[in-house]
Amino acid sequence: MFIDSANLDEIREGFSLGLLKGVTTNPSILLKEGKRRGVIVKEILDNSEGIVFVQATGSSYEEIYADCQEILAYGNKRIALKIPANIPGFQVINRLKNQNNAPIILATAIFSVDQSLLCGLAGCDYIAPYVNRMANNNINPYEVVNKTRKIYDDRGFSTKILAASFKNTNQVVDIFTAGAHTATVSSDVLRSMASKELASASISGFNRDWYELQSRLEFVKE
Ligand code: E4P
């Protein structure tokens, strides 16, 4: 799994669990940190492992391509590009994927199976279907991911489904069941996956009994 954050405390805590493969960001996530993109990306690289996805912005082919070049110029092999799955985005993906040393590309803002199909045909490495945003717009994200996975598996596409946009942990479980290869989650969602009230109550009970046993043993002679 990946963590969807640019906050260094959240990233450090997430990686301390030892199960993350990288970090995903977008301009809204960067806005929360209020630093220059180059600065925060370097800090993220220094405080994480694996892939760091940075989203290219712009509304035309020229703007998105220029922004991709700026991101790639940060010069770190762990950086991968997030590119919107729209017409200018596909044009940029086509150009980049036909270059030598093509970068890793995640096509982002996926809301439908037809978009996913094009991403597979375009040779994207990952796609990011937006689970909660779909649900909020009366689109069934599980159906989208399930059909996408079937197309990718039937056709032998190597594109991986990296599901994104979660409000709760049930959505994460359900999207994996529907066929997502992996997912990116906020620090809040990751914390609630790792920390359950019932588990905490059981663990507290065991700890209490352990300390009780220690205090009783103090009065027992060896
Ligand atoms: C990741 O690719 C997306 O940018 C992100 O997960 C969107 O999440 P949100 O819907 O919680 O903003």
Buried b (16+ CB within 10 A) or exposed e, 172-181: bebbbebbbe
pLDDT at site 222: 61
Q: Which residue from 55, 120, 110, 124 is spatially nearest to 83, judged by alpha carbons?
A: 55
Taking the CA of residue 37 as centre, how many other CA atoms within 13 Å lie in the half-sphere pointing to its CB? 19
pLDDT at site 7: 98
pLDDT at 10 over 70: yes
Burial of residue 158 (number of CB atoms within 10 Å: 0-12, 13-18, 19+): exposed
Q: Please say whether the structural domain 2-195 has been given the CATH code 3.20.20.70.
A: yes
Q: Using the atom order of ligand 1, give the atom closest to the CA of residue 133.
A: 10
Ligand 1 centroid to residue 131 C-alpha, Å? 9
Map tokens 């909020």 to a residue. Answer: 136
Residues 144, 112 contacting (CB under 8 angstroms): yes
- Listed by start position, the domains of the chain span 2-195
Is the CB of residue 24 below 6 angstroms from any atom belonging to ligand 1?
Answer: yes
Mean pLDDT of 175-203: 95
Is the CB of residue 132 below 6 angstroms from any atom belonging to ligand 1?
Answer: yes
Just list the catalytic residues: 82
Ligand 1 centroid to residue 88 C-alpha, Å? 20
Q: Using the atom order of ligand 1, give the atom closest to the CA of residue 162.
A: 2
pLDDT at site 64: 98
Mean pLDDT taken over the chain:
96
Ligand 1 centroid to residue 217 C-alpha, Å? 53
pLDDT at site 218: 84
Q: Which two tokens stand for residue 23?
A: 């970090």
Ligand 1 centroid to residue 31 C-alpha, Å? 13
Q: Hey, which of 108, 130, 161, 184 would you mutate to test ligand 1's pocket, going by the most ligand atoms within 8 Å of its Cβ? A: 130
- What is the per-residue pLDDT across 36-85, written as a single tens digit (0 to 9) for each? 999 999 999 999 999 999 999 999 999 999 999 999 999 999 999 999 99
pLDDT at site 197: 87
Mean pLDDT of 201-213: 93
Q: Which residue from 63, 116, 64, 54 is spatially nearest to 85, judged by alpha carbons?
A: 116
pLDDT at site 221: 62
pLDDT at site 185: 98
The one-letter amino acid at 135: A
Pairing mode of beta strands 2-4, 22-24: parallel
- What is the per-residue pLDDT across 11-36, written as a single tens digit (0 to 9) for each? 999 999 999 999 999 999 999 999 99
Pairing mode of beta strands 2-4, 182-185: parallel
Is the CB of residue 2 below 6 angstroms from any atom belonging to ligand 1?
Answer: no
Q: Which two tokens stand for residue 26?
A: 């977008």
- What is the per-residue pLDDT across 90-124, written as a single tens digit (0 to 9) for each? 999 999 999 999 999 999 999 999 999 999 999 99
Mean pLDDT of 205-219: 91
- What is the per-residue pLDDT across 34-50, written as a single tens digit (0 to 9) for each? 999 999 999 999 999 99
